[in-house]
Structure 1
Amino acid sequence: MKKVLTSGLVASLVLLAFAFLCLKLMPVLLLSVTFEYFNPVFVNDPFRNAFYFLHPIVLAFALAWFWNRFKDIFVGNLLARGLEFGFVYLIISTLPIMVLLFSAIDVSLTVIGTWLLYGFFQGAIAGLIFARMHV
């Protein structure tokens, strides 16, 4: 249990930094996608916006538990295990919710694609951390 908490904390900090980095890089790298966030479908409330930064923390601990439970399934070197973990997270969690979001709100496939990539990288980063810390 100590490894789950420790690796969850480390992953929380790294994923939080990654979320902040993505928030700062999005307007620079994908300006057209950034303009879509001005759509009224997105709520601009400071209280609710804070959940963007709470998400990586909750996610890190959930993924730490998942890793601890299924780590023996992920084989290979550190990079292979981390990338496979990111792919598993993409397939079982991120992809289904993106299909639902695309069907329910007015966002482009480009936005959905960036969210899919973001989810993959979150899972892969967490997987790399867990693979390193759960040796």
Structure 2
Amino acid sequence: MKKIISSGFIASIVLLVFAYLCLLVMPILLPKVAEEYYNPAFVNDESRNLLYYVHPVVLAFGLAWFWNRFKSLLKGNALMQGIEMALIYVVIATIPSLLITYSAINVSLLTTGTWLLYGFFQALIAGIIFSRMHV
């Protein structure tokens, strides 16, 4: 349990930094995608902005629990284990969520693709952290 909490805490911090960096870099790298967030389909309620920063914390602890349960099935070095965990996360959680979101909200396939990549890299980062901490 101690490893889940400590690795979840470290992954939370790193994923929070990653989320913040993505907020800063996305409008520069993908201005068309950034413009989509001004669409009325997106909630423009500042009281919910905190949830963007809560998400990486919840995800980190969920993935830490998952890692603790299934780490023996992930083979290879830290990078390979991280990639495998990211692929599992993308297939089990990200793609199904994005399919329902894409079907219900007026967003482009490009925006949906960026969310897919974002989820993959979140799980990859967490997987590498867990691999190094759960030796």
Q: TM-score range, shorter-chain basis?
A: over 0.9
Deviation at 1:89, TM superposition (A): 0.6
RMSD: 0.5
CA distance in 1, matches of 2:102, 2:78: 34
The equivalent of 1:34 in structure 2 is: 34
TM-score, normalization by structure 2: 0.99
3-state DSSP class of the match of 2:72? helix
1:102-123 superposed Cα distances (whole Å, 9 cap, x missing partner): 0011100000000000000000
User: Structure 1 stretches (4+) deviating beyond 2 angstroms?
Assistant: none
| AA at the equivalent of 1:97 | S
The equivalent of 1:120 in structure 2 is: 120
| AA at the equivalent of 2:19 | A
The equivalent of 1:73 in structure 2 is: 73
1:58-102 superposed Cα distances (whole Å, 9 cap, x missing partner): 000000000000000100011100111111111100000000000
The equivalent of 1:19 in structure 2 is: 19
3-state DSSP class of the match of 1:13? helix
Percent of counterpart pairs with the same letter? 59
- Structure 1: give runs of 5+ residues left out of the alignment: none
The equivalent of 1:45 in structure 2 is: 45
3-state DSSP class of the match of 2:42? coil
CA distance in 1, matches of 2:64, 2:77: 18
- Structure 2: give runs of 5+ residues left out of the alignment: none
The equivalent of 1:131 in structure 2 is: 131
TM-score, normalization by structure 1: 0.99
CA distance in 2, matches of 1:87, 1:125: 12
CA distance in 2, matches of 1:12, 1:82: 16
* Alignment: residue pair count: 135
